[in-house]
Chains A and B, each alone.
Chain A
């Protein structure tokens, strides 16, 4: 009975969404204020019903109701309660329901926090969000209901959650990523609403910007945590595989990054208007494309867990409707848009424009590398794969001019700048960045390749540039503290985001260049050497978890005869699925990670053991955290805060 209520609740949510998509739009078209006024309550209403539906799925999972197919396939009685909850988004149907939860929550949030918008725009934004909601709800109800029953023959025990997904990273990774994906649908709706209204002015950009920022912040956080999860859970120390599923999340991120830089130009200077709209449409379309790639099973991936061609077809059709419709609208309206600002070559406008070019080119490269195997196969030309080096080479080439620009970006003003002072500053920075990098790398490592040196120097250059800029801006005031306070939060967010990128570049470069690994076969008492550390294999002991058993290889790590730590590299056998899982042991540190994975038991008491020494690997996740924090910081900026504070009160009441 209860699962049926969940399903029915979703039906009601879809009915409300349908009304949300029709009434306010019609009202905005005919100028009927009463119809437009219905939008916020409809938005909140559909959100409530989706939440009820999701709560019911969690409830039946916790109650081990194996008459429901989804629960039987993704949970089991022995699963700890927190993993039971996460199992509600561990499979396809549940993941889409989580997507719906996010989608409807964003819609409700927009409804509650958009009081200051003119009704015509507000109704249209919510109407577009309602349309997207209808699409996904139709999909859930029609093709992927998590409430489907297995009656009359149902199992007494479920098939358990995939052991790979039984990890803290998995608890938060998908919700964050979906928050980002779905958040971009808000930017998309603002863009479409602005196109419909025909007013593409900078007020539109101002409204859209905080939403885009938050969505982008979540997306960044989701990707960062996904990478960390892959690193700690897959057991081979990799953190990015250029896998189609990863690419599917990277593409919207790249475009969204371009979008928020372009939005800044539109808001501040009234330029790049049509381009900004196009980016907003593209960013969300790429989210849909990503969903299609992941869910259709058209591409072989290590990450795609549930796939089905029919579902892929639905998403593809939805994608075509959304992209086709919005591009048609764009084509109709774009000729009316006029750029206002004028600027010279050496100006912030041009650097932002260049930033956009690089990010879009990067997106195209990822798109090409992701879709080419798919097209190649569908054309009947045979199955191919694009090697990882392709992406690495292309990104290595792109990052150089991109990072060079990024270093001087903070110094540039709008409209125009004088070259000589800028060139002097840049030269000074280049010299000090090269010097610092040389000291840093040559003091730590014997060999430094040219590529490593350049990339590290770029990271140093970005950081130095940011520091110098802070210094110059802050010392304008006599009192240092006053100087700090005078800068807007947006400014600090920009600095933070850029320094975050520097950390990512440095982390990726150094860990790629200086990671070392050894595969050894050891018996108890053996010592393996790797860099300055000694690894003493103490033996293997039995372990027993709530739903698995296995062995843990005990390894004492020594440095200069001193004990550093003791690590337990586990090999688990999960009871229900009888699947083996390697649980790597990681000793994390700011400057290096020690990473151990236990392999198979060999003959006569030997075990295979893989040891990794990964310098600076944490820096890229630290960078990711900094970047996403920057996104959230912008929203707290005074310019947006005044508006949002009023809304917060409303939000609490509602």
Chain B
């Protein structure tokens, strides 16, 4: 092998090594951080054809409607629990902190957190979209079984 070839060889090996480790690292980080989305019924009954249920300790996202009357606030701390529903079973969400401005009973929300019991999630983030007509599209699809369409504005009735 002449020196020129050797140099090229080294460069190629370095590039392959670099690209390989970059891809490896990326995939590893991805695998750690993909959060699946569930609705309350999928969480309880299983998701998809295979009826896959999440395991306790899994990080996930859940979306559903806040069951009216289910919001319980702790008197002294900022702990709050509420229940989510879509079409069937209920799932309990525990959260510590101040809920978003548009969090209301009967409203669609998305929460991110860890499954601590088969039907209880400890959420670290609760999202409610800043639009009174908004239903997170994932929730809308799950509840109605249809794709989210742009809401038609009903301005005329305001008169």
Contacts and interface: CB of A to CB of B under 8 A. Distances in A.
A387 B101 CA distance: 23
A300 B110 CA distance: 11
A577 B153 CA distance: 13
Contact of A156 (B47, B48, B138, B159): B159
Given A300-B137, A580-B101, A580-B102, A387 B26 contact: no
B150 interface: yes
A579 B130 contact: yes
A528 to B, nearest CB: 12
Contacts of A154: 155-156
A521 B77 contact: yes
Contacts of B59: 387
Nearest to B136: A300
Contact of B33 (A389, A571, A603): A389
B99 interface: yes
Given A73-B153, A383-B37, A580-B102, A521 B131 contact: no
A7 to B, nearest CB: 20
A382 B39 CA distance: 11
Given A383-B138, A394-B25, A521-B76, A608 B150 contact: no
Contact of B127 (A302, A305, A365, A581): A302
Q: Which residue, of B26, B48, B138, has the highest number of chain A Cβ atoms within 10 A?
A: B26
Interface string A209-246: 00000000000000000000000000100000000000
Contacts of B97: 519, 610
B12 interface: no
Interface residues of A, number: 54
A150 B78 CA distance: 46
Given A305-B131, A382-B48, A521-B76, A394 B101 contact: no
Given A156-B159, A390-B29, A610-B97, 5 more contacts: A73-B155, A155-B158, A383-B37, A519-B98, A580-B102
A385 B78 contact: no
A519 B78 CA distance: 7
Interface stretch (A114-122, A462-470, A473-481, A594-602): A594-602
Interface string B76-99: 111000000000000000001111
Interface in A344-397: 361, 365, 368-369, 372, 382-390, 393-394, 397
A162 interface: yes
A157 B22 contact: no
Interface string B108-137: 001010000000000000010111100011
Contacts of B110: 300
Question: Nearest 5 pairs between A and B by C-beta?
Answer: A599-B98, A387-B33, A390-B33, A383-B37, A580-B101
Contact of B98 (A383, A390, A597): A597
B30 A386 contact: yes
A201 to B, nearest CB: 28
B75 to A, nearest CB: 7
A577 B138 contact: no
A163 B35 CA distance: 31
Nearest to B130: A164
Given A155-B155, A297-B137, A599 B78 contact: yes
Contact of A382 (B36, B112, B158): B36
Interface in A567-625: 571, 577-582, 597, 599-600, 602-603, 608, 610
Interface in A155-188: 155-157, 159, 162-164
A142 interface: no
A385 B35 contact: yes
Contact of B132 (A302, A382, A579, A608): A579
24 contacts: A73-B155, A159-B155, A163-B130, A300-B137, A300-B138, A302-B130, A361-B22, A365-B26, A369-B30, A383-B37, A384-B34, A384-B37, A387-B35, A390-B32, A393-B29, A394-B26, A521-B78, A571-B101, A579-B132, A580-B102, A599-B78, A599-B98, A600-B99, A610-B98
A41 interface: no
B25 to A, nearest CB: 7
Contacts of B30: 368-369, 372, 386, 390
A400 to B, nearest CB: 13
B156 A578 contact: no
Contacts of A157: 158
A521 B73 CA distance: 11
A162 B33 contact: no
Contacts of A386: 30, 33-35
A540 to B, nearest CB: 15
A163 B102 CA distance: 12
A283 interface: no
Nearest to A572: B101
A144 interface: no
Interface of A: 69, 72-73, 150, 153-157, 159, 162-164, 235, 297, 300, 302, 305, 307-308, 361, 365, 368-369, 372, 382-390, 393-394, 397, 519-521, 571, 577-582, 597, 599-600, 602-603, 608, 610
A597 to B, nearest CB: 7
Nearest to B142: A383
Given A368-B26, A610-B98, A384 B36 contact: yes
Interface in B3-26: 22, 25-26
Contacts of A235: 101
A300 B36 CA distance: 14
B33 A155 contact: no
B25 A397 contact: yes
Contact of B159 (A153, A164, A305, A308): A153
B35 A384 contact: yes
Contact of A602 (B29, B73, B150, B159): B73
Nearest to B27: A368
A121 to B, nearest CB: 36
A72 B76 contact: no
Contacts of B102: 579-580
A603 B75 contact: yes
Contacts of A156: 158-159
A349 to B, nearest CB: 16
A150 B152 CA distance: 13
Contacts of B112: 385
Interface string B31-45: 011111100000000
A581 B130 CA distance: 9
Contacts of B148: 297
A578 B37 CA distance: 30
B150 A308 contact: yes
A600 B153 CA distance: 30
B159 A608 contact: no
A69 B150 CA distance: 15
Contacts of A368: 26, 30
A284 to B, nearest CB: 26
A577 B132 contact: yes
Given A73-B153, A387-B35, A608 B158 contact: no
Contacts of A389: 29, 32-33
A579 B101 contact: yes
A150 B159 CA distance: 13
B150 A302 contact: no
A577 B98 CA distance: 22
Contacts of A305: 131
Nearest to A163: B130
Contacts of B130: 162-164, 302, 579
